[in-house]
């Protein structure tokens, strides 16, 4: 917990602005199946079932790299109490989600798809959570579940991202994280997630190779980075960004690149197992989304596959 409190850094202009009403606070709430999960088996079983049924392997979402997710931090199982810093972070992400809603409520109807935006929910939990995609512990990192159209986030991920993955210490890294997950929601609304699920099933049955599927996965993830860039552009246009915010987002995108994660975890990178894209690719597509500010340039599949 050595990271500085968000308000002590240069910071996105967020105080006093609208907070989303779609945030669901489940911190400290007892969860059904939790005792099983503490032993690890419940989570593993849920994950395996989830992967086999082809509903999507979104539980390891932001962090790809083909590396096993670390176990959840322990010792916080009982008597959760919110710290002042977590209170600030909670309010911050509530404003960030409101910005994401405003972005897509404006951008989607004006896009080539003329689609209406259906707002996703954001569940903040600690340690363990049950979802329509199965149970998860916070070790898997933030993720989006298409089954209940909800983004799941443990606020401790902020410290993980900065301390373990080396993202810059600044609150806008969390905007990048949530906007990336909300990008998967946009992909779900527009049918891209369904296509990826079909491809996952083809890989499971051997119709396409795992390496081929990984390339689709990379395109899918880079598209979510592009969509996060669109959100950043919307915020810039409204004057919400402060100097340094974009650098923070770019540093977070670099920190969660497959090559960076694998290099840190095992000392080398294996491109065949990449499923989220390299640091360079993630930064590039975030930037392209930022530059376009809409869906005109979002077809990562055309360029990656």
Chain contacts with Zn ion (rule: CB under 5 A): 61, 221, 224
CB of 153 to Zn ion, least distance (A): 13
C-alpha separations of 157 from 48, 72, 144, 222, 303 in Å = 23, 11, 15, 20, 31
Whole-number Å distance between alpha carbons of 53 and 133 = 10
Q: Indicate the residue whose CB is closest to Zn ion.
A: 61
| Pair of tokens at residue 42 | 């419940």
Nearer to Zn ion, 137 or 187 (CB): 187
CB of 221 to Zn ion, least distance (A): 5
Residue 180 C-beta: closest distance to Zn ion, Å: 6
Q: Measuring CA to CA, which residue among 66, 56, 61, 97 is closest to residue 224?
A: 61
Phi, psi of 151 (to 5 degrees): -95, 135
Nearer to Zn ion, 61 or 259 (CB): 61
CB of 185 to Zn ion, least distance (A): 11
Measured in degrees and rounded to the nearest 5, phi and psi for residue 25 equal -90, 110
Closer Cβ to Zn ion, 221 or 284, answer by number: 221
Nearer Cβ to Zn ion, position 221 or 245?
221
Pair 61, 67: CB distance under 8 Å: no
Q: CB-based burial of residue 123 (10 Å sphere; 0-12 exposed, 13-18 middle, 19+ buried)?
A: buried
Nearer to Zn ion, 72 or 151 (CB): 151
Q: How far is the CB of 168 from Zn ion (least distance, A)?
A: 20
DSSP-based helix, strand, coil % in the chain, nearest 5 = 55, 5, 40
């Amino acid at each position: 917990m050595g990271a500085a409190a968000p308000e002590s850094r240069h910071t996105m202009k967020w105080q006093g602005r609208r907070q989303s009403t779609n945030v669901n606070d489940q911190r400290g709430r007892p969860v059904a199946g939790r005792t099983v999960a503490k032993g690890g088996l419940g989570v593993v079983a849920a994950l395996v079932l989830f992967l086999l049924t082809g509903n999507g392997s979104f539980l390891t979402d932001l962090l790809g790299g083909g590396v096993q997710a670390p176990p959840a931090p322990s010792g916080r199982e009982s008597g959760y109490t919110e710290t002042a810093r977590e209170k600030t972070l909670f309010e911050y992400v509530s404003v960030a989600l409101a910005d994401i809603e405003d972005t897509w409520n404006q951008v989607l109807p004006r896009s080539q798809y003329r689609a209406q935006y259906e707002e996703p929910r954001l569940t903040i939990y600690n340690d363990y959570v049950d979802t329509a995609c199965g149970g998860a512990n916070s070790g898997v990192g933030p993720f989006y579940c298409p089954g209940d159209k909800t983004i799941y986030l443990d606020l401790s991920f902020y410290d993980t991202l900065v301390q373990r993955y080396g993202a810059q210490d600044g609150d806008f890294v969390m905007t990048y994280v949530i906007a990336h997950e909300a990008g998967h929601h946009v992909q779900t609304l527009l049918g891209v997630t369904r296509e990826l699920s079909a491809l996952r099933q083809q890989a499971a049955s051997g119709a396409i190779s795992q390496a081929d599927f990984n390339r689709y996965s990379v395109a899918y993830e880079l598209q979510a980075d592009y969509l996060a860039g669109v959100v950043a552009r919307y915020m810039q246009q409204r004057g919400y960004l402060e100097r340094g915010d974009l650098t923070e987002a770019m540093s977070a995108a670099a920190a969660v690149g497959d090559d960076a994660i694998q290099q840190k975890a095992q000392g080398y990178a294996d491109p065949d197992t990449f499923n989220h894209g390299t640091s360079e690719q993630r930064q590039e597509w975030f930037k392209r989304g930022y530059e376009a500010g809409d869906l005109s340039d979002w077809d990562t599949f055309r360029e990656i596959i």
